[in-house]
Amino acid sequence: MAEAGIIDGKAVAARVREQLKTDVAEFTARTGIQPGLATVLVGGDPASEVYVASKRKMSVAAGMADLHQHLPEDATQAEVEGLLGQLAANHAVSGILLQLPVPAHLDAAALIELIPFEKDVDGLTTMSVGLLAQGKPGLRPCTPSGVIELLDAYDVPVEGARVVVIGRSELVGRPVAQLLVNRNATVTIAHSRTKNLADVCREADIIVAAVGVKGLVTGEFVKPGATVIDVGIHRGPEGLSGDADFASVSEVASLVTPVPGGVGPMTIAMLLANTLRAAELQYALAD
Ligand code: NAD
């Protein structure tokens, strides 16, 4: 069998960001409102600092206002809650993103719930999760939305397709499964207690691997011609790799996302898309 085609997430993400530039300019011209993203970083975790810096840079490149907030490592629960309350009430703030993980002394779940659903650009509040589960309009988590965008960009049929999502986390597995169900796929959620995982996966037209186990998905898991979307990110001496064993999977699949350069670049692009959606939602609610 020929080698699988590569799903180029870098190129798709660049196209999404380019389109957003136009859409943001059009929204601002129409409403007089510049969408603003408030990233909230507590402490100085080096990986989080890098992520936040690139979210800020790309939001500015898309024509949005950078309303970043930084609190010290020892900020109290009350201080972070106070800041989130101010951002929730501030009309210049379209989207609020609390960068996770927060320092261990803070109650992250309680903080997330303070973000109003119409500003919840990470899609992680109970309200946003409920709207997604009910198939109602709302802001969806960024990485799962990026997975759907990649499938659409490569015209992978989702309606009626059999999909196996490996992983049931709140951040990726569950929401991506919901998004796929809402798009009329037949979805199986596999997880750490699933029996005969390879057999379950071989039924799938599309496999979404969000497991956090390096190289778990091998060619043996893949039905010939299936599409494999690899959400995993692992840092090793040879650089980044994913939850799929790229070499053996690409011998069997028809399309596969590489790591790096697949799902990863989509996450920030979808965050920016969510920030514009949030601004539109607030404009409509204020009408
Ligand atoms: P998680 O640890 O919260 O969840 C992993 C899930 O996989 C769990 O539900 C567990 O049941 C399941 N699992 C674990 N071992 C298994 C096994 N052997 N067989 C079957 N299922 C198993 O992880 P997460 O937050 O969902 O992230 C998953 C991966 O995606 C990680 O590598 C993470 O770094 C990556 N990630 C990437 C992005 C991105 O932007 N590309 C965003 C978020 C997460």
Which amino acid would we find at residue 220? Answer: E
Asked, for residue 198, whether it belongs to a domain, the answer is yes
Same domain, 102 and 42: yes
Distance, in Å, from the CA atom of 105 to the CA atom of 115, rounded to the nearest integer, reads 19
Q: Active-site positions?
A: 55, 99, 122
Same domain, 84 and 164: no
Same domain, 103 and 59: yes
Encoding tokens for residue 268?
A: 């920030």
Pocket test for ligand 1, best of 233, 263, 267, 272 (most atoms within 8 A of CB): 233
Q: Is the pLDDT of residue 287 over 80?
A: no
Give the model's confidence band at 1: pLDDT under 50 very low, under 70 low, under 90 confident, else very high. Answer: low
Same domain, 165 and 258: yes
* DSSP structure class, residue 220: G
Q: What is the Å distance from ligand 1's center to 82 Cα?
A: 32
Residues ≥6 apart with Cβ < 8 Å to 245: 215, 216, 217, 218, 219
Encoding tokens for residue 134?
A: 């009910």
Which amino acid would we find at residue 15? Answer: R
Distance, in Å, from the CA atom of 21 to the CA atom of 27, rounded to the nearest integer, reads 10
- Quote the pLDDT of residue 258: 98
Query: Percent of the chain having pLDDT more than 70?
Result: 100
Same domain, 156 and 248: yes
Same domain, 109 and 157: no
Same domain, 145 and 254: yes
The CATH number linked to 91 is 3.40.50.10860
Asked, for residue 193, whether it belongs to a domain, the answer is yes
Give the model's confidence band at 185: pLDDT under 50 very low, under 70 low, under 90 confident, else very high. Answer: very high
CA atoms within 13 Å, Cβ hemisphere of 187: 21
Per-residue pLDDT tens digits for 105-128 = 999 999 999 999 999 999 999 999
Same domain, 112 and 162: no
Same domain, 198 and 236: yes
Same domain, 74 and 161: no
> Mean pLDDT score of the chain, rounded to an integer?
97
Asked, for residue 71, whether it belongs to a domain, the answer is yes
Asked, for residue 246, whether it belongs to a domain, the answer is yes
Asked, for residue 160, whether it belongs to a domain, the answer is yes
Whole-prediction pTM value?
0.97
Residue nearest to atom 2 of ligand 1 (CA): 212
Q: What is the Å distance from ligand 1's center to 279 Cα?
A: 31
Same domain, 99 and 167: no
Q: What is the Å distance from ligand 1's center to 93 Cα?
A: 31
Name the domain count of the chain.
2
- Is 241 annotated to bind a ligand? Reply is no
- Quote the pLDDT of residue 99: 98
Asked, for residue 21, whether it belongs to a domain, the answer is no
For tokens 């060619």, the residue is 219
Residue nearest to atom 6 of ligand 1 (CA): 167
Expressed as residue numbers, the domain containing 76 is: 32-116
The CATH number linked to 170 is 3.40.50.720
Pocket of ligand 1 (CB under 6 A): 143, 166-169, 171-173, 190-192, 194, 197, 210-213, 216, 231-233, 263-264, 267
Same domain, 152 and 106: no
Average pLDDT over residues 151-169: 98
